[in-house]
A and B are shown apart, each in its own frame.
Chain A
Amino acid sequence: MPWLTIAIAAPLIGSALCLTLPGRPGRLPFMVAIAGSALSAMALVITAIRFDPSSGMQLVETATWIPSLDVAWRVGVDGMALILALLSAVLFIAAISYGVGPRPMTRAAAGLLLLLEGSTLAFFLAEDFFLFYIAFDVTLVAMYFLIALWGEERRHYAALKFFIYTLVGSLPVLLGIIALFLASDPQTFDMIRIAEEQPMAGAGVGASLVFLAFFIGFAIKTPVVPFHTWLPIAHVEAPTAGSVLLAGVLLKLGTYGLIRVNLQMLPEAFASYALPVALVGLVSVIYGALVALAQTDLKRMIAYTSINHMGYVVVGVAAAAATGISAEARDLAIDGAVLQMVAHGLVTATLFFIAGFIKERAHTRDLGKLGGLMRPMPWYGTLAALAFFASLGLPGLAQFPAELEIFLGTFDVWPGLAAAAVLGIAITAALFLRALQSAFMGETPERLMHLPDLSRREVVAVAPLVLLFVAIGLYPRLALDLINSASWLIGN
């Protein structure tokens, strides 16, 4: 069975099905959405069982598409693609179970969520640039509507900004893809072949330009400073489930591309730009943490910590690309970078749920207006404390092993840069403790005294994420044995 194709097709077919549903409110769109995402998740779990972590790209499914350009339906998995696809499947189920917009979910919301899921999975599983690029852009369209239709007050501005900014980012990616296509011989969009044959090897300036084109596109998507300004506003205005998916899944498109294309297909060019890229990552780490420290809106604060956490990923990837890094340190850096994507996906998604839960009750996310929430909402407070500590990298929770691996790998080539990156953990500790102290501890204002604690629906949405980030934190090999970057990173 073409399980990967099923994993992509199930949500897309569900999405198409939503178009044909009757317009009157009912539970049907929700059922379709859950069924589509569950079927997709099942196909991915089966793939994970069939997957052999010790060999690289595998389980490739192909079908002819446009033979004259050697465009084909090519999907496959290696450790990174599989773990990110699994992460997406989990987050989409959580987001769909929580819902977007009016309840019960409308067919438009269900259709858009499924479209987003299908295109995201297609992106992670694509091994053909044609599909890769289409998926990259379709995710934008779906997310645009999720924000523009069900976001908060300034949703139109935020959605448009998100859409245009990232669309502009996808143009250099398109140019890069065309350049790689033209350089390959015989010309192909086959990503596996391009990664193997390295058509740009020794191409000098040309390779650098292609590298930069891809890097800018992915840097906007990740986002790294200074291309990050679409992120806070998009997060603040997006509906809760939209923020969850944006941070949990869509930001990974950027760093996934950075590894899949820049590192795997243009390693020579990357090696010569490794230090500048690492510095960009370091700036994101420190800048994101400091600006997050200055925020009073919980959601905006979380958005900036995303910039900090994704900065670590960029640092790790750049270290792995640097010349002179030991094989062990490179495996640590890439394992850590991929694990950080997973950990950040789980933890930050939980954080955005937390921000959404309180907004729904207290109608504010302003840390100055919240206080003493532990008293009326002990379970909610415990959940928030756990997620805050996870996000500041407490051992036993998923981000600690990821960040430690990135630090260990980076220290091998750039000890000073790694040491500077470690400073980020003290700033994130400060900002989360500050938020914990002002919103959850101390006196409870009267108007917050009778807020209800977590509802069943909310628990259902976050429980899988919490379980996963605790489990991975205690035993990171749950993810690392699957990721096993040593088996697919070319150049070993």
Chain B
Amino acid sequence: MNEWILWLAVGLPIAAAVSVRFAPAGAALAPWLALLTAFPAWLLLLASAGGDVAASSFTWLPAGGLDVGLQLDGLAAAMSVTVATVGLIVVIYAGGYFEAEPRRRSALAGLLAFIGAMQGLVLADGYLTMLIFWELVGAASVRLIAFSRDDPAAAPAAARAFLTTRSADIGFYLAVLALFTASGSLDFVAARPDGTLGDVVALGLIAAAVGKSAQVPLQTWLSAAMAGPTPVSALLHSATMVAAGVYLLIRSEGLLAGWPLELVGWIGAVTAVLGAGVALAQTDLKRVLAGSTTSQLGLMFVGLAAGGPAVAMFQLIAHSAGKAGMFLAAGIFQHNRETTSLAGLRGAGRKDRLAFAGFVVGALSIASVPPFAAFWSKDHIVAAAEATNGAWFLLVLLATVGGAAYLLRPALILWQDEGSDKIEPRGRKRMLLGVGALGAGSLTLGLVAQPLTSLLRAPDLPVSVASLGLSLAAVAVGGLLVLTSVRVPERLMTAFRIQFHIDGGLRVLVQQPILRAANALDSFDRGGFDATVDRIGRGTVLVARGQNWIERYGFDATVDRIGRGTVLLARGQNWIERYGFDAAVDGLAHRIGRAGEDLRRIQTGRLYEYLRGAVLGGIALVILITLAALL
């Protein structure tokens, strides 16, 4: 039974996406279908809470004995429900958000398809299945980020998001290769293989997670991805897809024991602080939230490294409600003011108090103000960091100061008594419903700690009074910094706003050299290789022409000459035959015949005639003897 539900959890959203895309009433149908597709996840949670486990797979690559399949355990159930629930809320909200959009069916279908791929990633039974859905999630995000055809930034942002994450995914591929070579299987394993292969597995998985979760130094794609529609930012770029990196590391926790987890903690702690700085320096509300997401995901990395899976997972769940809620509220402001820049949103909250209430609840939670959800989850991270690594502890506190500051700043701007706007009524009810649902989550999700630890079979979450106090103090400091408008050096703010030239650096160090190499190779290919081949070709033609010439004027002429020579020779022989041999033979007979006469002439006393006869006779004799010898 649970096996079927596993496949339904992945298959239903995809089927729903197809129906929404092609059914004429697809847009109206979408929320109901989304509700339907959320059921399997809830059923899985119930089953898992009851102690069930399930797995279902089939052979995919027979030569390697590799399967593709889904499995249910506590971690998968918790994450699956988070994805399904936030997904449902965002789809309902998106029905309102996209009401005036002619291509809304395409957008809603895209969200549903994304949910299906994400469920596959969450419920994967091993690294092969996870890699498959990991990449599909990335491809689905391209379509969603690039949805807007009017915003010239949308398409490049989509390409950048995909390319950054896919480059990091080379790590995932290498991890898969190394793990298979070391262990002959791609199941989730409890321990790292020995030696270099094990190191490759750990580093590769961490690289993939850094890319997907927008950690330093690969975080800039996330800010750019804010060019996507706001519901997309809420679902993909705060609550679920970017959390996949954290989820991958939680899944691989056993395999990462030791120095890899240490590395994860450092990456997270540094990103938490830098992300907070980035969020503080932004001039666009969605980009503030993106910086915040980077920072909060960093905290989850620290939570995993210092406190284990349950700590990270708790933060992941609390954050998804709070941050998605803020995004959804931002989407309402965006509809009212048709902008997301902070300057343009001045006073938007005061004009739309319901949406502002939702925004504030989320902000209080993320800024870790009690008694909101992320206060509780953050507290465990602080306590775990304090117990594990002093530096992480300091960085986490610093990130907490930043968190309070970067959220209070936009809240104050939204609350200013300024601007005049009408509230855009279209789709408002459904949008407010989404904001309200996530606000309720931020209020109550602090209670999931206990059920979550038992679901994950994790030890009790770490707490410490000292860290609690320091954490609260940090929040207060952050708030005060904003309220007293402490002057921050402009250069520092600029550095944070442009994210330390990381984009430029990547462009100069990676993108441009590759493009230059490509262009150089291309001209080499045309000028070098191809020209060489052509030269060989032309050379051959030249040689052929040369041969032709030789043939005509050399060989042929020679042959002709030889021929003519032969004819001449033949004629010569003929002449010799006629006038030589014959004459010689005839001459001999003639001479012998005339010998008497000659002898008589000898008597004439003409001595020179005797001599002539003797010489000629001798020559004739020599010729005759020679001819006789030759023949």
Chain A residues closer than 8 Å to B65, beta-carbon distance: 328
- Determine if B167 and A328 form an interchain contact, defined as CB atoms under 8 angstroms apart: no
- Any A CB within 8 A of the CB of B539: no
- Any B CB within 8 A of the CB of A287: yes
| Shortest distance between the CB of B167 and any CB in chain A (Å) | 5
CA distance A226 to B529 in the complex (A): 7
| Shortest distance between the CB of B544 and any CB in chain A (Å) | 12
- Taken residue by residue from 44 to 70, chain B's Cβ proximity to chain A (1 for < 8 Å, 0 otherwise) reads as 000000000000000111111100000
Chain B residues closer than 8 Å to A422, beta-carbon distance: 170, 173-174, 177
CA distance A153 to B299 in the complex (A): 61
Most chain-A Cβ atoms within 10 A of its Cβ — which of B139, B177, B180? B177
Chain B residues closer than 8 Å to A161, beta-carbon distance: 533-534, 537
Q: Using known A-B contacts A396-B132, A427-B514, determine if residue A437 contacts B170 with beta carbons closer than 8 Å.
A: no
- Taken residue by residue from 503 to 524, chain B's Cβ proximity to chain A (1 for < 8 Å, 0 otherwise) reads as 0000000000011011101100
- Determine if A433 and B521 form an interchain contact, defined as CB atoms under 8 angstroms apart: no
Q: Using known A-B contacts A290-B517, A291-B522, A415-B181, determine if residue A165 contacts B163 with beta carbons closer than 8 Å.
A: no
CA distance A249 to B170 in the complex (A): 30
CA distance A422 to B170 in the complex (A): 7
Chain B residues closer than 8 Å to A375, beta-carbon distance: 149
- Determine if B177 and A407 form an interchain contact, defined as CB atoms under 8 angstroms apart: yes
Chain A residues closer than 8 Å to B514, beta-carbon distance: 290, 293, 427, 430
- Determine if B537 and A374 form an interchain contact, defined as CB atoms under 8 angstroms apart: no
CA distance A412 to B177 in the complex (A): 9
Q: Give the residue of A418, A425, A442 whose beta carbon is less than 8 angstroms from that of B177.
A: A418
- Per the 8 Å Cβ criterion, residues 464-485 of A in contact with B are 475-477, 480-481, 484-485
Chain B residues closer than 8 Å to A400, beta-carbon distance: 132, 135
- Determine if A328 and B184 form an interchain contact, defined as CB atoms under 8 angstroms apart: yes
- Any B CB within 8 A of the CB of A280: no
- Determine if B63 and A328 form an interchain contact, defined as CB atoms under 8 angstroms apart: yes
- Any A CB within 8 A of the CB of B6: no
| Shortest distance between the CB of B479 and any CB in chain A (Å) | 42
Q: Give the residue of B152, B184, B517 whose beta carbon is less than 8 angstroms from that of A443.
A: B152
- Per the 8 Å Cβ criterion, residues 149-167 of B in contact with A are 149, 152, 154-156, 158-159, 162-163, 166-167
| Shortest distance between the CB of A283 and any CB in chain B (Å) | 11
- Determine if B162 and A401 form an interchain contact, defined as CB atoms under 8 angstroms apart: no
- Any B CB within 8 A of the CB of A419: yes
Q: Give the residue of B132, B149, B167 whose beta carbon is less than 8 angstroms from that of A395.
A: B132
Q: Using known A-B contacts A293-B518, A411-B177, determine if residue A405 contacts B61 with beta carbons closer than 8 Å.
A: yes
- Any B CB within 8 A of the CB of A449: no
| Shortest distance between the CB of B152 and any CB in chain A (Å) | 6
- Taken residue by residue from 376 to 411, chain A's Cβ proximity to chain B (1 for < 8 Å, 0 otherwise) reads as 000000000100010000111000110011011001
- Per the 8 Å Cβ criterion, residues 128-158 of A in contact with B are none
CA distance A458 to B533 in the complex (A): 36
- Determine if B61 and A401 form an interchain contact, defined as CB atoms under 8 angstroms apart: yes
Q: Using known A-B contacts A230-B533, A328-B184, A437-B155, determine if residue A335 contacts B163 with beta carbons closer than 8 Å.
A: no
Chain A residues closer than 8 Å to B136, beta-carbon distance: 394-396
- Any B CB within 8 A of the CB of A229: yes
CA distance A341 to B177 in the complex (A): 21
Chain B residues closer than 8 Å to A475, beta-carbon distance: 60
Chain A residues closer than 8 Å to B8, beta-carbon distance: none
- Determine if B155 and A442 form an interchain contact, defined as CB atoms under 8 angstroms apart: yes
CA distance A400 to B135 in the complex (A): 10
- Per the 8 Å Cβ criterion, residues 402-439 of B in contact with A are none
CA distance A230 to B149 in the complex (A): 39
- Any A CB within 8 A of the CB of B101: no
- Determine if A293 and B515 form an interchain contact, defined as CB atoms under 8 angstroms apart: yes
Q: Give the residue of A165, A290, A425, A485 whose beta carbon is less than 8 angstroms from that of B518.
A: A290
- Determine if A441 and B146 form an interchain contact, defined as CB atoms under 8 angstroms apart: yes
* Chain B residue nearest in CB terms to A444: B149
- Per the 8 Å Cβ criterion, residues 219-234 of A in contact with B are 225-226, 228-230, 233
| Shortest distance between the CB of B600 and any CB in chain A (Å) | 81
Chain B residues closer than 8 Å to A415, beta-carbon distance: 177-178, 181, 197
- Any A CB within 8 A of the CB of B394: no
- Any A CB within 8 A of the CB of B525: yes
For the complex, would chain B's binding face be called helix, strand, loop or mixed by DSSP majority? helix
- Determine if B149 and A405 form an interchain contact, defined as CB atoms under 8 angstroms apart: no
* Chain B residue nearest in CB terms to A419: B174
Chain A residues closer than 8 Å to B521, beta-carbon distance: 287, 290-291, 294
CA distance A486 to B61 in the complex (A): 13
Most chain-A Cβ atoms within 10 A of its Cβ — which of B63, B139, B142, B518? B63
| Shortest distance between the CB of B182 and any CB in chain A (Å) | 10
- Determine if A476 and B61 form an interchain contact, defined as CB atoms under 8 angstroms apart: yes
- Any B CB within 8 A of the CB of A91: no
- Any B CB within 8 A of the CB of A127: no
Chain B residues closer than 8 Å to A35, beta-carbon distance: none
Instruction: Place the interface of chain A in its size category.
Output: 35 or more
- Determine if B64 and A429 form an interchain contact, defined as CB atoms under 8 angstroms apart: no
| Shortest distance between the CB of A230 and any CB in chain B (Å) | 7
- Any B CB within 8 A of the CB of A191: no
- Any B CB within 8 A of the CB of A237: no
- Per the 8 Å Cβ criterion, residues 419-460 of A in contact with B are 419, 422-423, 425-427, 429-430, 433-434, 436-437, 441-443
Chain A residues closer than 8 Å to B43, beta-carbon distance: none
CA distance A486 to B63 in the complex (A): 8
- Any B CB within 8 A of the CB of A331: yes
- Any A CB within 8 A of the CB of B624: no
Chain B residues closer than 8 Å to A293, beta-carbon distance: 514-515, 518
- Determine if A434 and B159 form an interchain contact, defined as CB atoms under 8 angstroms apart: yes
- Any B CB within 8 A of the CB of A266: no
- Determine if A433 and B63 form an interchain contact, defined as CB atoms under 8 angstroms apart: no
- Determine if A426 and B518 form an interchain contact, defined as CB atoms under 8 angstroms apart: no
- Per the 8 Å Cβ criterion, residues 88-133 of A in contact with B are none
- Per the 8 Å Cβ criterion, residues 277-335 of A in contact with B are 287, 290-291, 293-295, 328-329, 331-332, 335
- Determine if A429 and B163 form an interchain contact, defined as CB atoms under 8 angstroms apart: yes
Chain A residues closer than 8 Å to B263, beta-carbon distance: none
- Determine if A332 and B156 form an interchain contact, defined as CB atoms under 8 angstroms apart: no
- Determine if A480 and B174 form an interchain contact, defined as CB atoms under 8 angstroms apart: no
* Chain B residue nearest in CB terms to A157: B534
- Any B CB within 8 A of the CB of A29: no
| Shortest distance between the CB of B602 and any CB in chain A (Å) | 80
CA distance A62 to B166 in the complex (A): 51
- Determine if A395 and B135 form an interchain contact, defined as CB atoms under 8 angstroms apart: yes
Chain A residues closer than 8 Å to B456, beta-carbon distance: none
- Any B CB within 8 A of the CB of A203: no
Chain B residues closer than 8 Å to A405, beta-carbon distance: 61, 63-64
- Determine if B519 and A229 form an interchain contact, defined as CB atoms under 8 angstroms apart: no
CA distance A215 to B524 in the complex (A): 24
Q: Using known A-B contacts A229-B533, A418-B177, A441-B155, determine if residue A401 contacts B60 with beta carbons closer than 8 Å.
A: yes
Can you list 27 residue pairs at the A/B interface with Cβ under 8 Å? A228-B529, A229-B530, A287-B521, A290-B518, A291-B522, A294-B519, A294-B521, A332-B63, A335-B61, A336-B63, A400-B132, A400-B135, A404-B176, A408-B176, A408-B181, A411-B178, A419-B177, A422-B174, A426-B170, A427-B514, A433-B142, A433-B163, A437-B156, A441-B149, A442-B149, A475-B60, A476-B61
The 7 A-B residue pairs whose C-beta atoms are closest, nearest first, are: A441-B155, A294-B522, A395-B132, A294-B518, A331-B63, A293-B518, A411-B177
Known: A295-B522, A394-B136. 19 other contacts (CB 8 A): A291-B522, A335-B63, A389-B139, A394-B135, A400-B132, A401-B61, A404-B176, A405-B61, A411-B177, A415-B181, A415-B197, A422-B170, A425-B173, A430-B163, A437-B159, A441-B149, A441-B154, A475-B60, A484-B62
| Chain A interface residues toward B at CB < 8 A | 161, 164-165, 225-226, 228-230, 233, 287, 290-291, 293-295, 328-329, 331-332, 335-336, 372, 374-375, 385, 389, 394-396, 400-401, 404-405, 407-408, 411-412, 415, 418-419, 422-423, 425-427, 429-430, 433-434, 436-437, 441-443, 475-477, 480-481, 484-486
